[in-house]
Amino acid sequence: MSIGRVNPKFQLSDQGIEGLGEAYYNMLEPDLIAHALRRGEGELGKGGSFLVSTGEFTGRSPKDKFVVRTADAEDTIWWENNPPLEVAGFDALYADMLEHMKGREYFVQDLFAGADPALRLDVRMVTELAWHSLFIRTMLRRPERAELDGFEPEFTVINCPSFKADPARHGCRTETVIAMNFEKKLILIAGTEYAGENKKCVFSLLNYILPEKGVMPMHCSANHAQGNPVDAAVFFGLSGTGKTTLSADPNRVLLGDDEHGWSDRGTYNFEGGCYAKTISLSPEAEPEIYATTEMFGTVIENMVYDPETKDLDFEDDSLTANMRCAYPLHYISNASENGLAGHPKNIIMLTCDAFGVLPPIARLSPAQAMYHFLSGFTSKVAGTERGVTEPQPTFSTCFGAPFMPRRPEVYGNLLREKIAAHGATCWLVNTGWTGGAYGTGSRMPIRATRGLLTAALDGSLNNATFRKDENFGFQVPVTVPGVDGALLDPRGTWGDPAAYDAQAALLVEMFAENFAQYVPHIDEDVKAVAIG
């Protein structure tokens, strides 16, 4: 039976899914919340938000994500970064999941991945949990009523947390699995209730499809100047580096906080919502994001709250440091209505440096930009992935290695070509530690970071006096109005300059060791950056 706001042209039975107890198609937020409450999936929070715990898994499971080794994927996948799953294992997994699903309720959302109508992907999300349906409806782009009548899914995602994979039978690692089959246009997720797997599998899918269309998929937030979408900026960075916070500038229009494409026509958002970390969120520092936590339909994930008043505790990370809220983009007052902007004038690469070595901002040459993009240096912050309890220095190529099916040079070359074609200025911004490494120093003041970004985006920073950094060779401003000049010289913020020098030498060595894997695949000017 099909119950929902639209009787779709393509039923689940057309995709081999049969024998379900009920299939609820394209329900809107009120009904999804009602079903989630009926099923005991969570509680109603203030303002009609939905409070939920994801149980055992409070972050992504990157080691349990696989690409099916089909003939068409064999020569295009970066296999060192994407563990293969054999076709027979996937087929067995699919058959067993379909059998497990019989007699159960499922929720179907037909959604767009991409704001550009010419480049968007039509995705069908089939979820066992009603609140997962609410989550993905919030995070992807919602078609108009008329667009649903003839909706034909190009890819289908099936998420069944109650199904446990069998490593011996299915060829996976544990009972948790995310299996991507590009040939069958099908993604299977099992054994985890963490909602972020839903959106990140779609991002991985776009990262595979779009490069062949000349589109650069980017793990970034983006905004543009008020009244001037041509003046766009993108902010690359892994979770915890500040993509959401720093792009939510009240003086600029927010395009999106996490995933975008850069095509020949400009920049566009893949999503229709935001997935913001809420630990230490305050109405003073981030009033608009804070306000969404008491708005109708916002998904509040893994937060401690008062059982009677439903007041949220933004400081209690006993469930996880990766507590989050998911809300539609239009809940932010300065959000873009169409998710489209021009070519980026400024490219910001955000890093959370737990070593306390990097300056708060540096200007990069095109070759340096590719070097730092391929390096993707940052620190994984607590809670984002299972097992991460304190910042861990890491290199995640393209600032998003877990979501990159193709080799890094594919994305690096695309970025470089687009920078050259459109003349973007590139900046490296450290939102990590100053005055010492993690455990000794302190986090970079967000007010200083905002001041530096404002100067970069309005063009005034280009008029500053710069010095050449002795460790990495990029240009660092000497003084910036409104910013404490002491922060601009990281060595001077350390109590022991010799300790800084030793830490800097260690970081430079780590960069060199990591980048050695890319040297056979890059041009001479980027090699020159790599070898100093």
Within 393-489, where are the H helices? Answer: 408-422, 446-457
Q: Which listed residue (35, 54, 58, 60) is catalytic?
A: 60
Is 176 labelled a binding residue? no
Query: What is the C-alpha separation between 224 and 299, in angstroms, rounded?
Result: 27
Q: Which listed residue (124, 243, 277, 416) is catalytic?
A: 243
Asked about 149 being catalytic, the answer comes back as no
Q: Which listed residue (239, 320, 378, 396) is catalytic?
A: 239
Q: Which listed residue (110, 116, 249, 258) is catalytic?
A: 258
Is 277 labelled a binding residue? no
CB 190 within 8 A of CB 180: no
Is 200 labelled a binding residue? yes
Q: Which listed residue (142, 170, 260, 324) is catalytic?
A: 324
Beta partners for 317? none
**DSSP type of residue 143:** P
In the block, residue with structure tokens 């169409």: 338
Asked about 465 being catalytic, the answer comes back as no
Is 378 labelled a binding residue? no
Closest CA to 232 of 268, 198, 206, 208: 268
Is 258 labelled a binding residue? yes
Q: Which listed residue (132, 141, 219, 277) is catalytic?
A: 219
Residue 328 C-alpha from the chain's centroid:
15
Contacts by residues 8-16 (CB-CB < 8 Å, ≥ 24 positions apart): 8/108, 8/110, 8/148, 8/149, 8/151, 9/149, 9/150, 9/151, 9/152, 10/124, 10/151, 10/152, 10/153, 12/106, 12/108, 12/126, 15/124, 15/153, 15/156, 16/98
Contacts of 206 (CB under 8 A, 6+ apart): 113, 114, 121, 217, 259, 261, 270
Tokens linked to 35: 């079903």
Residue 432 C-alpha from the chain's centroid:
18
Is 491 labelled a binding residue? no
CB 455 within 8 A of CB 352: no
Query: What is the C-alpha separation between 254 and 289, in angstroms, rounded?
Result: 12
Total residue length of the chain: 532
Is 310 labelled a binding residue? no
Closest CA to 415 of 398, 397, 395: 398
Is 9 labelled a binding residue? no
Q: Which listed residue (124, 200, 277, 406) is catalytic?
A: 200
Is 219 labelled a binding residue? yes
Contacts of 393 (CB under 8 A, 6+ apart): 353, 354, 355, 377, 378, 379, 510
Asked about 63 being catalytic, the answer comes back as no
Dihedral angle sign, alpha carbons of residues 474, 475, 481, 486: positive
- The dihedrals phi and psi of 111, each to the nearest 5 degrees, come to -135, 165
Asked about 333 being catalytic, the answer comes back as no
Asked about 137 being catalytic, the answer comes back as no
Tokens linked to 24: 């609820």
Is 237 labelled a binding residue? yes
Is 267 labelled a binding residue? no
Is 345 labelled a binding residue? no
Dihedral angle sign, alpha carbons of residues 402, 408, 414, 416: positive
Is 468 labelled a binding residue? no
Asked about 39 being catalytic, the answer comes back as no
CB 311 within 8 A of CB 47: no
Distance spanning both ends of the chain, measured CA to CA: 65
Asked about 264 being catalytic, the answer comes back as no
Is 324 labelled a binding residue? yes
CB 356 within 8 A of CB 433: yes
Asked about 324 being catalytic, the answer comes back as yes
Q: Which listed residue (138, 244, 396, 493) is catalytic?
A: 244
Is 242 labelled a binding residue? yes
Write out the catalytic residue numbers.
60, 200, 219, 239, 243-244, 258, 324
Binding region for ATP: 200, 219, 237-245, 286, 324, 449
Binding region for Mn(2+): 200, 219, 258
Binding region: 60, 194, 200, 219, 237-245, 258, 286, 324, 449
